Structure 1
Amino acid sequence: FRRAGRSEMAAAPVPEMAEILKLVAEQDLPPWETYPHAEARRLSIERNAYWNEGNPPVARVEDLLLDTPPRRVPVRLYVPEGAPANGPAIIYLHGGGWVICSLDTHDGVCRRLANASGMRVISIDYVMAPEHPFPEPLDDCVNAVRAIHAEAWRFGADPERLAVGGDSAGANLSLAVLLRLRDEGGPKLKAAALIYGVYADDHGTQSHQDWGDGDYLLSTATMKWFWDAYVPDRADRTNPYAAPLHARDLSGLPPLYLSAAELDPLKDDTVAIVPKLEAAGVSVDYHLWEGVTHACIMFSRMLPQADGQITEIAAFLKERLA
């Protein structure tokens, strides 16, 4: 799966990841950007059904609505066995380039995170681009976090022990939520987990050159398509709430877990933002997941490293929310 000329010739997928890449390649699926956005969204649920077969049980799953004018935001609550009443909770923002994926595509991730952490997980069904461009998805997430904090009793959660987290575009939204809450008077969250996030509209990085050709699940072309849908006004692409890597001030944030996948065009987004966060005085726990691609956390069915990563994230959040 590695083409000659890549700068990181020593990097290669672990055997299980190589099997996943082979499986995907054999399906010969057209790339996301060749579909209308709504059709791609529908197909993302269909294509990810395989990865959610046999998801582990949790004690309770409940779909709820948050009253967050101008609209009601759907959320899904996961309560693991033995979760204490009025305990800590993780608010989860799914990935998918702000365009595709859903509560259902990330159901397995949320179940596993709930079970590994012993904490409630609340997954947010925010609006999607291009029907709802920036800042509407972010507005949904900010409003949902505020509503969960204000109505924590509905979820059996402690409002003073909340974290936010997400993967890919969900990591972007999670970091932007923290910046908005900091700038707009709270509430303050205790921690966040940012999983192989996208933090700037920069497709000339070395990791995009190395891993963005489409052989490694996420391509540079798809990322450009996502950005065009989410932030169609290019003047907004340096807005720190859309692209946190452009933020002049990253101070005042809670402890952060950040991860990057080694074979991911977005890897350098995380590599670039970690020192900026540390220079701003933010406590950062950075992890590079070797031998795996973007979206790897969703592949527990075939990839043992996915469960290892979820366990690692859960341990970080459990310690910060104790």
Structure 2
Amino acid sequence: MPFQALLTEKSDTGAITSSVQTLDEFRLPDGNVTISVDWSGLNYKDGLALTGGGGIVRAYPHVGGIDASGTVLDSADPRYARGDQVILTGWRVGETRWGGYAQKLRLESDWLVPLPKGMSTRTAMVLGTAGFTAMRAIERLEASGLTPGDGEVLVTGAGGGTGSIAVHLLGKLGYQVVAVSGRPHLAEGLRQLGATTVVGRDDVMGTPDKPLESARWAGVVDTVGGAMLGKVLKQVKTHGAVAAFGNAGGIELNTTVLPFILRGVALLGIDSVMQPYATRVPAWARLAALFDPTAFEPFVHEIGLAELPQAARNILAGQVQGRTLVKP
């Protein structure tokens, strides 16, 4: 049966354009499971893919969307039967493989996770890669020894999708959360999500730059990278840790060895793309238990496939707050 998808194409001149098209099912890539997509989401990486940035997409035409949730239509894997509801994040789907910006998606069953009990496919995409990454960051911080009694936990880029979910999850777990955002109008919403304090970028970046600065944070969830990451590493308390996964602020890291050798600070890299099934299932189960979709709803915006090209430009310009859901 034909289906609709947002097809991204590259012209002979190198121009990248995307449009909603009706495609025949034979154009779907190989795989042993086909799903009907209920929801997808918009992430920073999706913005790059739809605009040709970052070398994310190598082959055209392409269907973007690194996340998807939906219902199994057919399966050659006994673990999944027709009618089962599933989640997809990662595995370079939406990058090297066609992704979730379509009404149908075919892929390998090993990349799927069963939808946790009590979670809807919509809530799964409110979370998506952003929620899974935030959960993995918190789990890594906890494994490094972080507890709610240790002091303030900083979340950079708190107005974005991953940052705002991290604020919410940390608040639900009882942490004192300091949310950093360059958009003052988001402050009240971040407090409602769970932030104890909301500060501007200058409150973190404006202190005199030294090889080692005053110890302020028991832990950090950094969604920004670049200069922000280099700065906060110098401000972490003894034996604290930074969970880092963002690069919107740049890919360079300028810091000193002093936080590591004098305070024992740990820098924890968070990869959400190639996480194994054994890691994904418990993380999604914990998200189902902790995340309050009602509290997060003011941070959710829904769009259709045709609105994605503009939304992609907006997210790259830092003009998107919270989570943007895509209804194919």
TM-score by length of 2: 0.30
1 or 2, which has the higher strand percentage? 2
Larger Rg: 2
1 or 2, which has the higher helix percentage? 1
TM-score by length of 1: 0.30
